[in-house]
Structure 1
Amino acid sequence: MKIYTRAGDEGATALFGGGKVGKDHPRVEAYGDVDELNASLGLARSIDMMPRIDEVLVPVQRDLFAIGALLATPDHEKMKEQLSKARIDEQRIEELERAIDACEAELEPLRSFIIPGGTPKAAALHVARTVCRRAERRVVHLAADIELPAMVVVYLNRLSDLLFMLARVANKRAGAGEVTW
């Protein structure tokens, strides 16, 4: 199979499960941002590997692949199927919350805003957090026109909180201080 198909040369792309839309369609914007978030997390994982942080990120990357497939699926029955495969449910949200709580237990309480930066690992996690927020905004925008499972927005919202906390933990574990605003 060749990587290029020439099918998108006219500015349209095929959706998972059928149909075509323009490459600037809100659905494509949403799953494109989720894909960018996934790549950002891959970059963050590759910098100064920290096993306990990276172990949290690998399942998140798998979740993001499933969310991307769900967002690229116009058929509601196939979307439900993707959601069940994705395991984006209350239990998964609770797992993210437990990871956030574990980070909080390791850190001093926040007393002011943190300026993103620090170590390369933490900076990459902060970038991923902002990409996550953009993906969340795109999904909310898409959900205004297309019925989507509410759990997708909840997941992305919780994930951005987790990425913020992981960035703080990465700085702490590396001995880097935080710059406050």
Structure 2
Amino acid sequence: MKIYTKSGDSGKTQVYADEVIRLHKNDDILECYGSLDELNANIGLLISYSKCSVITQQMELLTEIQKHLFQIGFAISASTSLTADDVIQLEQAIDSLQADLPPQTHFILPGGHTIAAQAQVCRTVARRAERRMVALLQHHQVPDVCLHYLNRLSDYLFVIARAVNQHYLIEDVKV
């Protein structure tokens, strides 16, 4: 199978939903897909830092998150296997990571260790994907669990950034 089809050269692409439809590449559905894809790629980069024990401990969940992002994309088109339990899994991971962190009393600047900075990039892309989904919801049905998941995912990525900085003995930079 060739990677290029030339069918998108006119600024439209096919979306496989209940039926195949052609959309302009700047359609809200494709904007949301694009943000999810960018988030997935950035999480892949975060996973590549597996020499950090914080990332190693979260590797299985991070890989599951990548799969769940595909499920959110499927939900936009047709259906998903994402459930409320997947949101709860993120909440449990957040609680577990936060238990070892000092209480956060201020806003903090993104950065610190390179791995923490990458987790913050992932967080901001997750927030954008969430905003794109909110825009999409104004005229397209998507299961509520997808929005809940993206919201919780950005929180999880924020906590990973803090945990990585703590692991490397880098203090949060307070605003």
SS in 2 for 1:19: strand
Compute the displacement of 1:62 (Å): 0.8
Partner of 2:56: 51
Partner of 2:149: 155
Q: Tell me by how many angstroms 1:148 deviates.
A: 1.2
Deviation by residue 1:53-78 (Cα, 9 ceiling, x = unmatched): 3332111011011212322x1xxxxx
Secondary structure at the counterpart of residue 179 of structure 1? coil
Contact 2:50-2:56 at 8 Å conserved across structures = no
Instruction: Give unmatched runs, 5+ long, in structure 2.
Output: none
2:2 maps to 2
- Corresponding letter in the other structure for 2:73: G
Matches within 5 A, 1:1-181: 1-17=1-17, 18-47=20-49, 49=51, 50-71=55-76, 73=77, 79=78, 82-84=79-81, 88-181=82-175
- Any conservation in 2 of the 1:118–1:176 contact (CA below 8 Å)? yes
Instruction: Name structure 1 gaps, 5 residues minimum.
Output: 74-78
SS in 2 for 1:4: coil
Q: Percent identity?
A: 41
Shift of 1:177: 1.6
**Normalising to structure 1: TM-score of the pair?**
0.90
TM-score after normalising by structure 2 = 0.93
Q: What is the alpha-carbon distance in structure 1 between the residues aligned to residue 121 and residue 70 of structure 2? A: 19
Contact 1:48 1:121 in 2 (8 A): no
Look up the equivalent residue of 2:11 and give its one-letter code.
G
Divergent runs of 4+, >3 A: none
C-alpha RMSD of matched pairs (Å)? 1.1
- Kept in 1, the 8 Å contact 2:75–2:143? The answer is no
